[in-house]
Amino acid sequence: MALFYLFVAFILIAVIIFGVLLHSGLLYSPKISVSQDASLPKRAAFLLKTGPLKNAGKEFKKLKNLVAEDVVLFGVFYNNPDKVPAEKVRWAVCCQLPDKTSSLEEMLVQKGYKIHEFPSCSKAIITEFPWKNTLSFFLAMWIVYPAIDKFIKAERLDIEQRGPCFEIYKDNLIHFCEPLENNEGFYVPGVDRE
């Protein structure tokens, strides 16, 4: 009888885990397209980092603790971690700023953040992924980036003109935007194009 209860407990735990994974986006199929007018944040405070992407979450938590709940956070990722050693991967943790100087901007500059204005993006690969919890973030990395690579190959897009990848965390979604133009303005100060 104890074996039966153990089996039932195992099944219940497996169902709960599968339910959490489903809720977090496990079976989500991103709809990827090329946009002629991708919406990127214009003005931003950023902190440039080099190193493993596993450190990004910690940096985003620090920034989130400094800003109001409604401030849009985003990351800009300059290297493919599958092709560049982890200690050389360059990325920036950012938050959107209003058009004019604000007390938020002044506070972030005092904390070591720098200010950058991103250009408009005339052509980009875009998609989104539901952002329900921390697990959603990991599932998005596992699902979205391979889907983008598959889309690029299927559409025969010119990857030589790709800019960095933007991940914008807004409205319970992770918005992915990968410019198909290599504009200098997508590179925050301190990042040289390679």
pLDDT tens digits, 20-50 = 777 677 778 899 999 887 788 889 999 999 9
Whole-number pLDDT of residue 81: 85
Give pLDDT, residue 100.
Answer: 77
Could you please report the per-residue DSSP string of 115-159?
EEEPPPBSSEEEEEEE--SHHHHHHHHHHHHHHHHHHHHHHT--G
Residue 125 is predicted with a pLDDT of 92
Tell me what pLDDT residue 67 has.
92
Rounded distance, CA 107 to CA 114, Å? Answer: 11
- Distance (Å, whole) CA 190 – CA 38: 24
Residue numbers of the chain with a pLDDT score lower than 50: none
Distance CA(86)–CA(60), nearest Å, equals: 18
Please tell me the pTM assigned to this model.
Answer: 0.88
| Among 58, 32, 67, 45, CA closest to 165 | 32
Q: 123's torsion region: left (phi>0), alpha (psi -120 to 50) or beta?
A: beta
pLDDT at 23: 67
